[in-house]
Amino acid sequence: MKKSARSPVPDAHAGMSHHPHMRHASRAAAPDDMPLFEVRRSGIHGRGAYATRQIPKGTRIVEYLGERITHKQADARYEDKGQDDGHTFLFVVSSRVVIDAGVDGNDARFINHSCDPNCDTVIENERVFIEAIRDIAPGEELGYEYGLTWESTDAPEELANYQCRCGAANCRGTMLAEDPLDKQKAARRRKRKLKNARAKAKAKAKAKAKAKAKAKAKAKAKARAKVKAKAKARVKRKPGSKATATTRTKTKTGRAAPRAGRSQGKSRRR
């Protein structure tokens, strides 16, 4: 089983189950050079890390170090190990990188799993750090959620190796992630499918609304043109308008036509 760190990047979730949220934690400066923790026998499992002094919330305690290898290398390296004792030094950083703290690792590998953690893991530029998520008192054991990956097809006897003995009131009884990896992947696929369906429906509705608005604008323009044409026709038919006024007209020969009420020739004298 591999530890891994929670990450908000969907692609980094492949093959992972415990990814610390990316965040910028405060770097609380230590008052002196005294180490923040020491390693000694643990009541939880094997050896554990214990605070040697007060550790304020947000303190970056230690970096998780070890040989950086691929998932394929990690699987090949521990293929012959078989059923282990439930303790693992493998930490998944991304879909490409795994840290094996069993090789060139530091004391961070001794921080045990806890269902009521006082620490969390943070990934920055493919480096893993352990940070305090609350104030930690001197002598208190450090712990964070492992959330080990597993498949629904894994043998029950193998999964039983990863029982949790943290003793917390809310202990789940296991260091494994709540859901198997295949179920998590299926849930992510359903989520992506639903998201794509919603986006498609939204685009379709937007296109329909745009077409409707365009048709409405076209109908309004046609109606305005029709009203304008009718108004122009009424002006042409109106008596006395410039188009119909004939106070004087031209004859075929170009002479002025006689005014109404006058006879042709000389006027009579009364």
DSSP notation for 118-165? SEEEEEETTEEEEEESS-B-TTPBPEE---B---TTS-HHHHGGGB--
Same domain (yes/no): 173, 224: no
Residues 194 and 229 in one domain: yes
Shared domain check, 161 and 43: yes
3-state secondary structure of 50: strand
Exposed, middle or buried by CB within 10 Å (0-12, 13-18, 19+), for 228? exposed
CA distances from 25 to 52, 127, 149, 187 (A): 21, 14, 26, 30
Q: Is residue 97 part of a domain?
A: yes
Residues 7 and 105 in one domain: yes
- 75 and 90 in a single domain? The answer is yes
Does one domain contain both 27 and 150?
A: yes
Output the pLDDT for position 260. Answer: 53
| Burial class of residue 78, CB neighbours in 10 A (0-12, 13-18, 19+) | middle
**Residue 226 shares a structural domain with residue 194:** yes
Residue 264 lies in a domain: no
User: 194 and 169 in one domain?
Assistant: no
Q: Which domain holds residue 68?
A: 3-178
Number of separate domains in the chain = 2
Determine the distance from the C-alpha atom of residue 204 to the mean position of all C-alpha atoms in its chain, rounded to a whole number.
23
User: 101 and 205 in one domain?
Assistant: no
Whether residues 110 and 217 fall in one domain: no
Q: Which of 96, 105, 22, 23 is nearest to 62 (CA)?
A: 105
CA of residue 107 relative to chain centroid, distance: 34
CATH number at residue 172: 2.170.270.10
87 & 138 share domain: yes
Q: Could you tell me the pTM of the whole model?
A: 0.59
Q: For each of the chain's 270 residues, which pLDDT tens digit applies?
A: 667 654 333 344 444 433 333 333 444 544 567 899 999 999 888 899 999 999 999 999 999 999 999 999 998 888 766 555 555 789 999 989 999 999 999 999 999 999 999 999 999 999 999 999 999 999 999 999 998 888 888 888 888 888 898 999 999 999 888 888 877 767 777 777 778 878 888 888 888 888 888 888 888 888 888 888 888 887 777 666 555 444 454 545 555 555 555 555 555 554
In the listed set 146, 178, 210, which residue is the last one of a domain according to the structure?
178
Of 135, 68, 61, nearest to 97 by C-alpha is: 68
pLDDT value for 23:
36
Residues in the chain: 270
Specify whether 99 is located in the same domain as 162.
yes
